[in-house]
Amino acid sequence: MSGALRFGTSGIPRSSARPGTVHGIRRARELGLDHLEMAWVNGVRMSDESADAIAAAAREHDLTLTAHAPYYVNLCGVPEIVERSRARLEEAGRLGARCGAQSFCFHAGFYGALDGAAASRRVKTELRRVTRALRRKRHSIDVRAELTGKASQVGSLEEVLDWSASVPGVAPCVDFSHRYARDVGQHNRYEDFAATLAAIESRLGRAALDRLHVHISGIQFGPKGERRHEPLRETRFRWKELLRALKDLRVGGWVVSESPCMEDDALLLQKTYQRMR
Ligand SMILES: [Zn+2]
């Protein structure tokens, strides 16, 4: 997959004539996109039959799929919350695999009263359980811990790489806009993006760059990090330099646009990337 990045929206394109993922897949293909992330951020309720129909539509239209697990996940919470969070992740993994998705991402949770090391250890323990459960049931899908946008959320680059290196089946979902917002405006130049990619390669090997799950959006931040996503054309986030770094380092995988402009910005990313030599 090296050097082949596939671009798509988070959720079905706004211009889809009818709701539902199957129609969204068709519309994405009409637009010339080749990927779709199923945005299950508010929960996922789907029959196995619907999942099978999605898998068939994605195959028919040569669209790759990923999923975003519900936001209501906190692997550092009290035991009942952790248990429910694990169940949500396992269900996202099961359904995602049934839809033919190759990867699903999630936000691991909040530090709360824990220090960084303790929170990170807890996440690791829970991710071992999640990946073991998915393996046991033969659901084949990447479990992708997302780089998160707020200082209160577990999921710095270092943490995400540590979980990925220590837990088989876990890999990073690298949200470069979150990295910029989390560190209040840092990591916003070509050299920074290249350094992030180099850190991934040195920790996880070249294969991690050949198959990377990436999120990009315009973003606003405040002192605590991420505030809101915004259109690429309005943002100070230097997404063109990021695309240049992805191109130069021959990164492969999926780029999901999480911009409020949906397909317009997914296409803007795709076209800009394709025009680069
Ligand atoms: Zn996310």
Tens digits of residue pLDDT in 199-246? 999 999 999 999 999 999 999 999 999 999 999 999 999 999 999 999
Q: In angstroms, how far is the first alpha carbon of the chain from the final one? A: 18
How far is ligand 1, taken at its centre, from the CA of residue 68, in Å?
7
CATH of the domain at 51: 3.20.20.150
What proportions of the chain, in percent to the nearest 5, are helix, strand and coil? 45, 20, 35
Residue 39: pLDDT band with limits 50, 70, 90: very high
CA 157 to chain centre: 13
How far is ligand 1, taken at its centre, from the CA of residue 18, in Å?
25
| Phi, psi for 222 (deg, rounded to 5) | -125, -165
Q: Please give the pLDDT value at position 3.
A: 52
How far is ligand 1, taken at its centre, from the CA of residue 177, in Å?
11
Pairing of strands 225-230, 218-222: antiparallel
How far is ligand 1, taken at its centre, from the CA of residue 245, in Å?
22
Q: What is the mean pLDDT of residues 9-30?
A: 96
Mean pLDDT computed over every residue of the chain = 96
Would you say 271 and 232 are in contact if contact means Cβ atoms under 8 Å apart?
no
Residue 45: pLDDT band with limits 50, 70, 90: confident
Which residue is associated with the tokens 């850190």? 199
Residue 29: pLDDT band with limits 50, 70, 90: very high
Task: Return d(Cα 122, Cα 120) in angstroms, integer.
Answer: 5
Domain count, the chain: 1
How far is ligand 1, taken at its centre, from the CA of residue 107, in Å?
6
Instruction: Give 273: exposed, middle or buried? Use CB within 10 Å, 0-12, 13-18, 19+.
Output: middle
Segments forming the whole domain that contains residue 249: 5-275
Q: Please give the pLDDT value at position 2.
A: 44
Q: Beta partners for 32?
A: none
Q: Name the percent of the chain lying above pLDDT 70.
A: 99
Compute the half-sphere exposure of residue 29: CA atoms within 13 Å on the CB side of its CA.
15
